[in-house]
Amino acid sequence: MNTSKYFFQTLIVVIVSGFSFLIFKTILPKKLFTEDKLDSKNVVVDSLLLEALAEDGGTVVEDSMRGTVIDYVAVNGIEFPKETFETYTGNQYLVGFFEKLFQLETKKQGNVRIAYFGDSMTDGDLIVKDFRTYFQEKFGGQGVGFVNITSESAASRSSLTHEFSGNWKTQSYLKVKHPSNPFGVNGHVFYANDTASVAWVKYKANTTRFASELPRPTLFYGSSSNKEGKVFYISGTDTIVKKLNPNKLVNTLTLSEGNLKSIRVNFKNADSIPIYGFNFDDGKGVHVDNFSNRGNSGLPIGSFDVATMRAFHSKLDYDLIVLQYGANVLNYGSLHYGWYEKRMEKVVAHLRACFPGVSILIISVADKSTKYDMEMKTDSAVVPLNRAQKRYAIKSESSFVNLYTLMGGDGSMIKWVEQEPVRANKDYTHFNHRGAKEAANLIFTQLNKGYETYKELRKKRKKAVVPVKKDTVLTPKDTVYEK
């Protein structure tokens, strides 16, 4: 066999291939893997996002708020220093929330509740679990808060074990525009419509810090003409049966005044009664509800029924609403996010109508990396979206956490994925458990820093001027502070 002949033929093929690659490299697209459309059964994109994209595609526009200085008006004698667009945190808009924390910390009075809305970044209680723990460590509180009846991320949730039967009918605000009954605060409504088989749900506490028990399990359900619905569960050696009374827009049923390690609840004759979920909290300290939905852009929140949300608010009494979105808004071929900015301004206004007096915190999109010219870099859409989120936070008088800059800014996701210890997944988008804990710490640290500043400003404010007669009993709104 003439081996030298085959050697030279192989060598020629390699050389020609190399030159061909160098020639074609100049005309290949920079983005080798298109991300215009994700084809995965595990990824859901809400219909409102798709409609908005169809209506408002566009190109890059000049940043209208570059160089803006935000000057605050004092609230109850508290005035945070003015901020620039680049350094914006909006702590001034958390004064009411900070005061509730102050009363809780100093007088051990009342409790504080946070609704944390997010997308797949908070799926399975990621980020929120540790965010909750940091707050409960400092201010007290036991329990995981509000939990759905069913959940696509139940198997991956580490803060409790969540199981349910397969015969529940679910409606979500990501997929249904006109639900049979209003959505709950979790963006879902569930029905035990299978009359042939019992629908059930089971929750079991694990070793999660401050959530090793299920305090005061309380069912939330809606209005219905069905007066025959019942729930039954095992307590010790007894089977407890309780009747459902769906008379109000939002109803509650506390199954135990104490703490349980686990509970399985069966629903009988409950068809047509809207079921929302269970709440687990001890009524003290801080409680954080995780309302995450894969594929959520944040826009579906604008479909909440105001009356229903106010009914939830009267029972849960939220002090802060957190919105962490963005991962599902990237990658649609546009670097112009003015359309998203305008729609999310309306969403925030709607939330204020639903939950009067609540403070709102916007958490920006995190860094995300994409392959350009065979090299992983920060996706070109991250910064434009980040700035749009900051603009709508400022315009809606919401506070803002720039998670992108806190985690390191440009190229940071590459480090979180590739450097030890690994803190993010190989999709260069989502955090792993270690990264989620670090992200939660970054968010909590900024909030806690704002709270500590609030306490210092509170000390320095001048004594109240009382423009009323002696011995008059004052309410907080009667108190006027000198500037």
| Cα separation of the two ends of the chain | 98
Cα separation, 479 vs 99, whole angstroms: 15
Cα separation, 342 vs 360, whole angstroms: 17
Contact 466, 414 (CB under 8 A): no
For residue 332, what pLDDT is reported?
Answer: 64
For residue 472, what pLDDT is reported?
Answer: 53
- Give the pair of three-digit tokens for residue 230: 């019942």
List of residues 6+ apart from 80 with CB closer than 8 A:
72, 91, 92, 453, 454, 457
For residue 96, count other CB atoms closer than 10 A to its CB: 14
The domains found in the chain, sorted by start residue, are: 48-141+285-483 (3.40.50.1110), 147-282 (2.60.120.260)
Contact 216, 257 (CB under 8 A): yes
Say if residue 421 is preceded by a cis peptide, omega within 30 of 0.
Answer: yes
List of residues 6+ apart from 200 with CB closer than 8 A:
164, 165, 264, 265, 266, 267
Written as tens digits, the pLDDT of the chain (483 aa) is 555 555 555 556 556 555 555 554 444 444 433 333 333 333 345 666 666 665 665 544 556 777 789 999 999 999 999 999 999 999 999 999 999 999 999 998 889 999 999 999 999 999 999 999 999 999 999 999 999 999 999 999 999 999 999 999 999 999 998 999 999 999 999 999 888 889 999 999 999 999 999 999 999 999 999 999 999 998 778 899 999 999 999 999 999 999 999 999 999 999 999 999 999 999 999 999 999 999 999 999 999 999 999 999 999 999 999 999 999 998 766 788 999 999 999 999 999 999 999 999 999 999 999 999 999 999 999 999 999 999 999 999 999 999 999 999 999 999 999 999 999 999 999 999 999 999 999 999 999 999 999 999 999 986 555 555 555 554 544 555 544
Our measurement of the distance from residue 329's CA atom to the centroid of its chain's CA atoms, rounded to an integer in Å, reads 15
For residue 196, what pLDDT is reported?
Answer: 84
CA distances from 126 to 157, 292, 404, 434 (A): 8, 10, 17, 10
For residue 117, what pLDDT is reported?
Answer: 98
For residue 479, what pLDDT is reported?
Answer: 52
For the question of whether the overall pTM of this predicted structure is more than 0.75, the answer is yes
CA neighbor of 80 nearest in space, from 94, 92, 93, 95: 92
**Tens digit of pLDDT for each residue in 27-49?**
444 443 333 333 333 334 566 66
Q: Phi and psi for 133 in degrees, rounded to 5?
A: -60, -45
**Which residue type occupies 464?**
A
